[in-house]
Structure 1
Amino acid sequence: MPKQPNLTLIVDELNQAANQIDEQQLEQLTDAISKAGRVFVAGAGRSGLMMRAFAMRLMHLGLDVYVVGETVTRSLSKDDLLLIGSGSGETKSLIPMAEKAHSLEAKVGALTLSETSTIGGLADIVVRLPGAPKDQAGDTASTIQPMGSLFEQILLLLCDTIILRLMAREELSGKAMYGNHANLE
């Protein structure tokens, strides 16, 4: 079977990106999720889809988790965590959410390319992910992929890494988590 050069290049980019994640930032976010009363996730576009996938896995762990904007999402309070995934950290629809969370004294976490972005500046916890801004991706040496693909992929993988850390802390197996899997499908 012939090699898939583009797939190999993408996997290489993901390996390079994974090696750039700050372990201390990742541990700080994992701790905040563990200690939160409830976890609320938000993101827009494809980043939003990655955050929704993360919410599902958090629910499988048994956490009280909500996707901002869904009709069944509860109100945010002081002991909660709002976790925002935004490559630019400047997504106009997400900035007011971070501001509102602060006004309610909830914690804000950001998964972003830029710690100095508006959302990064509003966040109590920032995990900086490597990648290129949408308008530069594919045109720079940091990625061959279009738009925000590298950010979105590493975002999903980072979220799965957090799930594995939380599973280890709670001594949960995938089999135990399956008990929270949807059964009306």
Structure 2
Amino acid sequence: MSKYSDQVISEISTVINKIPDDEFTEAAKAITSAKKIFVLGLGRAGFSIKSLGMRLMHMGMESYAFGETITPDFEAGDLLIVASGSGETKELVQKAQKAKALGGNVLAMTTNEDSTLHDIADHSIVIQAPSKVVSDSDFHSEQPMASLYEQCVLVASDALVLEIMADVSTQGNDMFKRHSNLE
């Protein structure tokens, strides 16, 4: 167990440490200046990005998982955060284009800075991990498929939360006030 968990942790650390600090800072500013925040991703990347939406809600921000039945309309001044390893998933690219057409902003979390999604986005966090489509990453992962990318979306999202917490002077105890209490 420890051999494999050490491998996973080492890979995550290597990739996360390649993300420039200014990408985090710009992403944090985009999040805190948005009226509403929508998160969008498919599969395991979708689960990871929904975790960011949940934490933003815990901080008191108006955040939604795109596609849920209770998701409101997207308007000018809103932010769509899209997690797509390839940056070419048609459905995700189309949603990003629509968000821009409606006067909103897009934050991309992708492995591919040469992608359509990266080009559409106002802000990007480029995660230099192999994805299921992009196999020319500088970094080789021992993990299958796009596991490393999906894990790094979660870790990068948690790092964003910490940066935003510091920027808006929020404490973890304050966030628990918005945690589900029907447990």
Q: Do the two structures share a fold, i.e. TM-score over 0.5? A: yes
- Cα distance per residue 1:99-155 (max 9 Å; x no partner): 101111100110000122111111111110121021577xx9510000010001111
Name the counterpart of 1:21: 19
Report the TM-score when normalising by structure 2: 0.94
CA distance in 2, matches of 1:31, 1:91: 26
- Cα distance per residue 1:153-182 (max 9 Å; x no partner): 111000000111111112111111000001
Does the CA-based 8 Å contact 2:60-2:178 persist in structure 1?
Answer: yes
CA distance in 2, matches of 1:108, 1:158: 17
Matched residue SS, 2:173: helix
Does the CA-based 8 Å contact 2:129-2:139 persist in structure 1?
Answer: no
| In the alignment, structure 1 residue 47 sits paired with structure 2 residue 45 | yes
CA distance in 2, matches of 1:102, 1:15: 33
Name the counterpart of 1:12: 10
Does the CA-based 8 Å contact 1:43-1:94 persist in structure 2?
Answer: yes
Alpha-carbon deviation of 1:8? Answer: 1.0
CA distance in 2, matches of 1:135, 1:101: 24
Does the CA-based 8 Å contact 2:77-2:105 persist in structure 1?
Answer: yes
Name the counterpart of 1:90: 88
- Cα distance per residue 1:19-78 (max 9 Å; x no partner): 101111111010000100110110001000001111111100000001110011011111
- List, as ranges, runs of 4+ consecutive aligned residues in structure 1 with deviation greater than 6 Å: none
Does the CA-based 8 Å contact 2:41-2:83 persist in structure 1?
Answer: yes
Alpha-carbon deviation of 1:15? Answer: 1.3
Report the TM-score when normalising by structure 1: 0.94
**2:168 pairs with one of 167, 170, 181:** 170
Does the CA-based 8 Å contact 2:85-2:112 persist in structure 1?
Answer: yes
CA distance in 1, matches of 2:121, 2:139: 29
Name the counterpart of 1:32: 30
Does the CA-based 8 Å contact 1:87-1:151 persist in structure 2?
Answer: yes
**2:66 pairs with one of 57, 65, 68:** 68
Question: How many residues matched?
Answer: 181
Unaligned runs of 5+ in 1: none
- Report the identity percentage: 36
Alpha-carbon deviation of 1:89? Answer: 0.5
CA distance in 1, matches of 2:181, 2:74: 28
